[in-house]
Structure 1
Amino acid sequence: MKLLIVGATGTLGRQIARHALDQGHEVRCLVRNSRKAAFLKEWGAELIVGDLCQAETLPPALEGTDAIIDAASARATDSIKQVDWEGKVNLIQAAQTAKINRYLFFSILNAEKHPDVPLMEIKRCTELFLAQSGLNYTIFRLCGFMQGLIGQYAVPILDNQAVWITGQSGPVAYMDTQDVAKFALRALEVAETQQKTLPLVGPTAWTAEGIIELCEKLSGKTAKIARVPLGLLRFMRGFTRFFQWTYNISDRLAFAEVLATGQPLDASMDEVYQILGLDLEQTTTLESYLQDYFSRILKKLKELDYEKNKAKKKKKTPFKSSV
């Protein structure tokens, strides 16, 4: 199958590209900077320079394409409205014109419950726009990646730095991006996923406190926990709205507030496993994911410490005592 992957340099997109190439698909990636995406070309993907926010750059990327996998998301320096709404509208309309056979889009779980949160409202509107487009779509609703937990929890704990958590932590069913890629590519092969909106979440929902406790157990270290009161988060969100150049920060704080309300981000995956013919037992658990990370990093730290001590011993010069 000839695939166009949008957002292929991101945490999720690169996993989808890697798995698609391993499965023998012809992979084309829409990228804004070919130099930063050079690793995709080395893997065997074709790079097409273009930008979602510039509609005229999209048609060349769609020529001869069978399916689009849209894993793009606004970066911290991007405008959420421009990339996640205007850019997606451009892509969907281009796909309509090019008569693309399949379109796979990643949204956010429970987006319809938070119309006051810009990112979630934009995702909801994009879902509706795609559903009305006439394309053979599949929408997967995600809630968080295990990869993001390394920088948020594991690294600070190893470095004896503070782990910041907000408000009343709600449980989140994080998923390994490699599993997300596996589910996405499988969905393209199964006709029952067409015109479907499905949850895509991990086996177990975890609170921030539970993740910290697991990291402490696996690392042998005690975490330094710093809490951000929900009231402060709401104040900062409102304060940043006074300044035009901080709108993007305010939008992201609004999304962070959703995670701090204590409401769970989880859903049943029974239908998804049944439709795709996949096995829950083969989906990565957070315990195994973090166990693998800490095993590798602690082994590396021991090796570095050994090499450091070995180098110190070599620098020592014995002095003969005079008689």
Structure 2
Amino acid sequence: MTLLIVGATGTLGRQIARKALDEGYQVRCLVRSPRKAAFLKEWGAELVQGNICKPETLPPALEGVTAIIDAATARATDSLSIKQVDWDGKVALIQAAVAAGVKRYIFFSILDAEKYTHVPLMEIKRCTELFLAESGLNYTILRPCGFLQGLIGQYAIPILDNQAVWVTGDTSPMAYMDTQDVAKFAVRALSVPETEKQTFPVVGTRAWGAYEIIRLCERQSGREAKVTRLPLGVLRTVRGITRFFEWGWNIADRLSFAEVIATGKPLDAPMDDVYRVFGIDPKETTTLEAYLQEYFGRILKKLKELDTEKAKKKKSKRKLTF
């Protein structure tokens, strides 16, 4: 089976590529910049240059492809808008997959997308789900709600750097999942017939609120967080301002998604049946506690080593002075 991974340089996509290669799949990655994706080639993947926003580049990339795992999405810093990437680009990719006779298509949506049609990214994901279901492709839709990796920049690093941790609104509890675990579900779906033409939540072991995560980071790091609460009204004002400028469209759309997190409504779903269908042991899923413990343990050890090295250099300079 030749597997095409779209979005393979992203936080989730690279984990999918790694897992698929480990499982013995022949992996091809659609990339905009082969230079930036060189690490994927080193892992053993084939790189093919192309862009879902340039439909003419897709047919050559899909030659001989049996399955697609689509993990691409617009980033806040992209020059292209969410609509251009997550709608226009995905429609082009799905149509190209149909034309190429691709047998399986794994798509990443967002949990509860249908409940927030006023949020651009959520509405686009919902519409893409419908378009994919009507395309005739043999699809599987996976719906995560957040990744553990995103919590490092949001909470862990500011606490370690003695910077402010921003909390907005009523902070909806979210069932974050490690991207490595999400990748397991994506790759496993390729070989499990029961996942065909089905939609599944893919979420972590439990939902965590912002203040729970902050307290956990404080315990693991031994440092106190500086929490700054951002009123929801301020967030909406910033979103309105950024929407006036083309460079701020993606930022504004992301801020709209931030409002979902600020509603206080949990983003979580039962996973017992999902684990059973995919044949994955829930005990193998990384918990937030274990993830942060490993992260802070590694970082604090490195900081201690750096402090020791600085002390040695300082001591050596003193000896040379005397």
SS in 2 for 1:58: helix
SS in 1 for 2:228: strand
SS in 2 for 1:12: helix
SS in 2 for 1:105: strand
1:39 matched residue in structure 2: 39
**Aligned-pair distance for 1:245?**
4.0
1:14 matched residue in structure 2: 14
Query: Is residue 2:240 matched to residue 1:238?
Result: yes
Whether contact under 8 Å (2:75, 2:250) holds in the other structure is: no
**Aligned-pair distance for 1:277?**
1.3
2:62 matched residue in structure 1: 62
**Aligned-pair distance for 1:61?**
1.1
1:119 matched residue in structure 2: 121
Please list the CA deviations of residues 34-53 of structure 1 after superposition, one character each: whole Å capped at 9, or x if unmatched: 10001101111000000101
2:297 matched residue in structure 1: 295
SS in 1 for 2:109: strand
- Determine the C-alpha separation between the residues in 1 that align with 2:174 and 2:135: 31
Among residues 309, 315, 319, which one is paired with 1:313 in the alignment?
A: 315
2:175 matched residue in structure 1: 173
**Aligned-pair distance for 1:197?**
0.6
Query: Is residue 2:256 matched to residue 1:225?
Result: no
- Aligned pairs for 1:125-274 (under 5 A) are 125-274=127-276
Quick one: percent identity of the two aligned structures? 71
**Aligned-pair distance for 1:319?**
7.2
Count of matched residue pairs: 320
Equivalent AA in structure 1 for residue 4 of structure 2 = L
Distance change (3 Å), C-alpha of 1:311 and 1:234: same
TM-score if structure 2 supplies the norm length?
0.97
Bigger Cα displacement from structure 2, 309-318 vs 201-210: 309-318
SS in 1 for 2:11: coil
- Determine the C-alpha separation between the residues in 2 that align with 1:63 and 1:49: 13
**Aligned-pair distance for 1:23?**
1.2
Q: CA RMSD in A?
A: 1.1
- Determine the C-alpha separation between the residues in 2 that align with 1:143 and 1:59: 31
2:83 matched residue in structure 1: 81
- Determine the C-alpha separation between the residues in 1 that align with 2:34 and 2:314: 44
- Determine the C-alpha separation between the residues in 2 that align with 1:317 and 1:241: 60
- Determine the C-alpha separation between the residues in 2 that align with 1:310 and 1:317: 11
**Aligned-pair distance for 1:75?**
1.7
- Determine the C-alpha separation between the residues in 2 that align with 1:249 and 1:318: 54
TM-score if structure 1 supplies the norm length?
0.97
SS in 2 for 1:108: coil
* Structure 1 unaligned blocks of 5 or more: none
- Determine the C-alpha separation between the residues in 1 that align with 2:240 and 2:21: 45
* Structure 2 unaligned blocks of 5 or more: none
Please list the CA deviations of residues 43-92 of structure 1 after superposition, one character each: whole Å capped at 9, or x if unmatched: 11000000101101001111111100000010222310000000000000
- Determine the C-alpha separation between the residues in 1 that align with 2:263 and 2:44: 43
| Bigger Cα Rg | 1
1:96 matched residue in structure 2: 98
**Aligned-pair distance for 1:231?**
1.3
